Amino acid sequence: MSNYFRNFPKVDYRFGNETTTTQFQHLGTYIDIIDQVKDYAVYYETYAIENGERPESLSYKLYRNVNHYWTFYLLNDHLRTNGWPIRDADLFNKAQQYYPNSVSMTYGVIQKKGPSVIEDGDDVYVQWRLLNETQPLCKSTSFKKGSYVYFPSSKTVGQILNIDQKLGAITHDAPGVRSASVDRTMETISAADYEMVKADSNYLPRETYELIEIYNNYDEYDAPHHYEDVDGNWIWPEWAQAHPNGLDPSSINTINYVSNFQRLTELNQDQKIISVIKQDSIAQIVSEFNRLLQFG
Q: Which of 265, 264, 286 is nearest to 276 (CA)?
A: 286
Identity of residue 57? S
Using DSSP's 3-state secondary structure scheme, residue 105 falls into: strand
Residue 61: what are its φ and ψ, rounded to 5°? -60, -40
Entry pTM: 0.79
Q: Can you give the pLDDT of all 296 residues of the chain as single tens digits?
A: 355 545 544 444 454 566 664 444 434 444 444 556 666 677 889 999 999 999 999 999 999 999 898 889 888 989 988 999 999 999 999 999 999 999 999 999 999 987 776 666 666 566 778 888 888 999 999 999 999 999 999 999 999 999 999 999 999 999 988 765 688 999 999 999 999 999 999 999 988 999 999 999 999 999 999 999 888 899 888 876 555 568 888 777 667 889 999 999 999 999 999 999 999 989 888 887 777 666 54
Helix, strand, or coil (residue 136): strand
Shared domain check, 185 and 134: yes
| Full domain range(s) for residue 67 | 3-85+275-293
136 and 7 together in one domain: no
| Long-range CB pairs of 233-238, under 8 A, 24+ apart, other chains included | 236/166, 236/167, 237/166, 237/167, 237/168
Residue 240 included in any domain = yes
CA pair distance 237, 235, nearest whole angstrom: 7
Q: Which of 46, 50, 55, 45 is nearest to 79 (CA)?
A: 55
**Count of the separate structural domains present in the chain:** 2
Does 115 share its domain with 187?
yes
Looking only at the bridges linking them, the beta strands covering 238-240 and 123-136 are: unpaired
Asked whether residue 121 falls in the same domain as residue 217, the answer is yes
